[in-house]
Amino acid sequence: MSQEFGASIIGCGGVSSAHAEAYRNLPDQCDLIAVCDPVEANANRLADTFGVETRYADYHDLLADERIDVVSVSVPHFLHAPITIDAAKAGKHVIVEKPMALTVGEANEMIEAARANNVKLTVGSERINPRYRFIHDKVLPEIGEIKSSWLVDFYYRDASYYARGAWRGTWAQEGGGVFVNQAIYTWDQWQDLLGGVDFAYGYWTNILHPEIEVEDIGYGLVHFRSGAIGKCFATSACESPENGQGIRIIGENGEIHTNSAWLYELDFSLKDRNAEADLRKEFEQVIDLNYRGRYQTWQTADFFDAIRANRSPAVTPETAKEALKILNGIHWHGWNHERKFKAWAAAQVELDGLKDAATANTDGWRGGKLVQQLIEFVRSETSTLDAPFL
């Protein structure tokens, strides 16, 4: 090995290529030593694409490889915690994909394993990019006390998406549906801007995906440690209606917002237009469209520097686990009300004559009366969550 860090990847599915690309983009800092997947074809596909000679079927064998310093964990969700803990015990630094784990308890065990074995741990997140950092560090203090906040996400998925992996759409292995596999990415930035999570509750059900066990629609309320209250909605049952999605963090002096809900377009406005103009001059200097979809290289470079300097990475596991509080809170509270919510939601959907997600997409359905009502609940500035089905 000629470079500073020996890198490796456990799990050679879709997202693994982003990690391999990140390592390849940092040739002066690392060598990608090995990949691992129990499905030989997956390991060979990734290894052949990125010129990696060593391929393992058992991740324990990879962890025993003394050439390896850093491990990317990009496996199904239920394996994030056990593999990360084993890697930490083997003395490897870990970059684990989102969601960090299935529960806050698992996340705490991962954090403790990293601490006890003196290794660094980070979780895949776009919070590393300059646009977000500027909004967080420079704009957030200027908008003043948070008055209200909401986050609305749409991630249409059809049956073929879930058919591509037997672990998808299951409670035991995916740990949920649209919340854990899609919405948690935007929840990550949202909770970080609002100062971490105190507790959350909400409602969910499955209205158009009979082939899976888990939720395809739901909404919730979050109490943040800062004292702010926010509400969120997410669904994989349809695409967004016009002006349906986005994020708003409304303060006494201005707001942070985007109509896409993703970091790519995160922006701001201040009531003091002169102050906004001054901030915007700085803001326009840090915007770099090259980060779009390529945050992994930025985060990996930061992680290497954190190892060298023995500092915390830009995305700490402690901040990454906060999004799991939203996930666990809405899921666990929602169990008690899922049937009533489903009956109420189904009654709204039946008015549009829909039977499944494929029908919804073919017909160009954008949620109809059901989604409009839920968006109204979430955008309401009240400190409680409307639930007409209770």
Collapsed DSSP state (helix, strand, coil) of residue 38: coil
Mean pLDDT on 171-177: 97
Residue-range domains of the chain with CATH:
5-123 (3.40.50.720), 128-289+322-379 (3.30.360.10)
pLDDT-derived band at 290 (thresholds 50, 70, 90) equals low
- Strand bridging mode 197-205 / 267-270: unpaired
Cβ atoms < 10 Å from Cβ of 358: 14
Q: Are 164 and 204 in contact (CB under 8 A)?
A: no
pLDDT-derived band at 1 (thresholds 50, 70, 90) equals very low
Mean pLDDT on 45-50: 98
Which residues fall within 8 angstroms of residue 41, CB to CB, at 6 or more apart?
Answer: none
pLDDT for 17: 96
pLDDT for 299: 94
Mean pLDDT on 9-23: 95
The token duo for 68 is: 């390896």
**C-alpha–C-alpha distance, residues 380 and 359, integer Å:** 30
Distances (CA, A) of 338 to 23, 216, 228, 347: 43, 12, 27, 14
Q: Which of 219, 226, 36 is nearest to 146 (CA)?
A: 226
- Assessment of whether the complete model's pTM goes beyond 0.85: yes
Which segments within the chain are labelled E, that is strand?
5-10, 30-36, 54-56, 70-73, 93-96, 121-123, 146-154, 197-205, 217-224, 229-235, 246-251, 254-258, 267-270
pLDDT-derived band at 2 (thresholds 50, 70, 90) equals low
pLDDT-derived band at 360 (thresholds 50, 70, 90) equals confident
Q: Are 192 and 129 in contact (CB under 8 A)?
A: no
Mean pLDDT on 363-379: 94
Collapsed DSSP state (helix, strand, coil) of residue 348: helix
pLDDT for 261: 64
Which residues fall within 8 angstroms of residue 91, CB to CB, at 6 or more apart?
Answer: 117, 119
Mean pLDDT on 315-319: 98
Q: Are 177 and 215 in contact (CB under 8 A)?
A: yes
283: amino acid identity, one letter = F
41: amino acid identity, one letter = A
Mean pLDDT of the residues in the chain: 94
Give residue 338's region: left, alpha or beta (phi > 0; psi -120 to 50): alpha
Helices and strands: H and E segment counts in the chain: 16, 13
Name the strands in the sheet holding 217-224, side by side, starting at the edge strand that comes first in the sequence: 197-205, 217-224, 229-235, 146-154, 246-251, 254-258, 267-270
